[in-house]
């Protein structure tokens, strides 16, 4: 069927056919490599279909760059990271909620561009994925920090993996992730790439990671483990009472990640507009 559509020669049909093929390949590969759960792979495959079918590689490239590199980083194991994983709400295999949290804002901006084409949507899209990359790299590379992270709001030392905890290594990782995501435009959208564009994307990525840390330190739910006496993002099983120590019960990791990408998108759109006005 895909081959038949490609023979027709209609560019729109060719894009859709390529999207179907890419979505199926992406979903299966992500599931087989244990980057995504089975349901996450379905949603991820649908997102890949839309990226290729509606946006082409200029849009799909940065998104794939985020997913592949961040997923590989998440597989790196350290003793600190294993300890930190006990505090995190989610594991290293992304589920449906994480796909929406990291890609939902970009997905919406892609749809907006398909309906009302405008360059601002593209920069918002790139900013959203730059923020997701910066946040993920900060977490993954921050696990290698020799120093304990400090809570961004108070400067108090906290255990590695604590929401809202920041470190020099993690912040450097966030900047590196945002720069790599912005730099991917040189390959996937060379006509849009420039030093100014890289600066806008990097700043947007850091803004998103900052918003994530602030939300993690203030409104994200933190529960006290009844036996081990530490704070964790996990509410725990129904038969185990974990008291809410900080934040709002309904604010979990996915919602905070969604805020992160939305902040990155808005920052990139604002930065791009300022760049054009200047």
Instruction: Report pLDDT digits (tens) over 126-170.
Output: 999 999 999 999 998 998 888 999 999 999 998 887 888 999 999
State the Cα–Cα distance between residues 226 and 239, nearest whole angstrom.
12
| Domain count along the chain | 1
pLDDT attached to residue 82:
53
Residue percentage of the chain with pLDDT more than 90: 46
Residue 5 lies in a domain: no
Its domain, for residue 152, covers: 78-277
Residue 8 lies in a domain: no
The whole-number average pLDDT for the span 16-43 is 67
User: What are the φ and ψ backbone dihedral angles of 263, each rounded to 5 degrees?
Assistant: -65, -45
Measuring CA to CA, how many Å separate 212 from each of 152, 202, 253, 260? 10, 15, 9, 5
Residue 38 lies in a domain: no
- Structure confidence by residue, pLDDT tens digits, 177-205: 999 999 999 999 999 999 999 999 999 99
More confident residue, 59 or 33: 59
Contact (Cβ atoms closer than 8 angstroms) between residue 74 and residue 140: yes
Q: Which of 50, 206, 201, 209 is nearest to 126 (CA)?
A: 201
Residue 178 lies in a domain: yes
State yes or no: pLDDT of 78 exceeds 70.
no
Reported pTM: 0.84
Residue 220 lies in a domain: yes
State yes or no: pLDDT of 1 exceeds 50.
no
The whole-number average pLDDT for the span 99-108 is 92
Residue 22 lies in a domain: no
More confident residue, 185 or 6: 185
- Structure confidence by residue, pLDDT tens digits, 34-73: 777 878 777 877 888 888 888 889 999 999 999 989 888 8
Strands (E), 63-196: 150-151, 165-166
Residue 192 lies in a domain: yes
pLDDT attached to residue 89:
47
The whole-number average pLDDT for the span 253-266 is 95
Residue 36 lies in a domain: no
């Amino acid at each position: 069927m895909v081959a038949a559509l490609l023979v027709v020669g209609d560019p729109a049909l060719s894009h859709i056919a390529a999207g179907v093929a890419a979505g199926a390949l992406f979903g299966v590969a992500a599931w087989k490599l244990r980057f995504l759960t089975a349901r996450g792979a379905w949603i991820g495959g649908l997102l890949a279909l839309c990226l290729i079918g509606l946006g082409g590689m200029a849009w799909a490239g940065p998104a794939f760059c985020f997913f592949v590199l961040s997923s590989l980083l998440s597989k790196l194991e350290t003793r600190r990271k294993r300890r930190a994983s006990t505090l995190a709400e989610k594991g290293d295999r992304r589920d449906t909620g994480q796909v929406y949290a990291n890609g939902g804002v970009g997905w919406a901006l892609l749809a907006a561009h398909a309906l009302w084409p405008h360059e601002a949507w593209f920069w918002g899209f790139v900013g959203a994925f730059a923020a997701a990359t910066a946040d993920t790299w900060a977490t993954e590379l921050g696990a290698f920090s020799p120093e304990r992270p400090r809570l961004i709001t108070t400067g108090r030392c906290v255990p590695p993996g604590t929401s809202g905890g920041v470190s020099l290594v993690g912040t450097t990782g966030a900047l590196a992730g945002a720069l790599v995501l912005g730099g991917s435009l040189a390959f996937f959208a060379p006509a849009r790439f420039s030093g100014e564009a890289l600066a806008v994307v990097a700043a947007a990525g850091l803004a998103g990671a900052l918003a994530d840390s602030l939300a993690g330190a203030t409104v994200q739910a933190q529960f006290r483990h009844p036996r081990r006496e530490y704070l964790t993002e996990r509410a725990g099983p129904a038969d185990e009472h974990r008291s809410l120590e900080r934040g709002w019960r309904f604010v979990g990791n996915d919602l905070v990640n969604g805020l992160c990408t939305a902040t990155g998108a808005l920052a990139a759109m604002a930065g791009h507009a300022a760049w054009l006005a200047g």
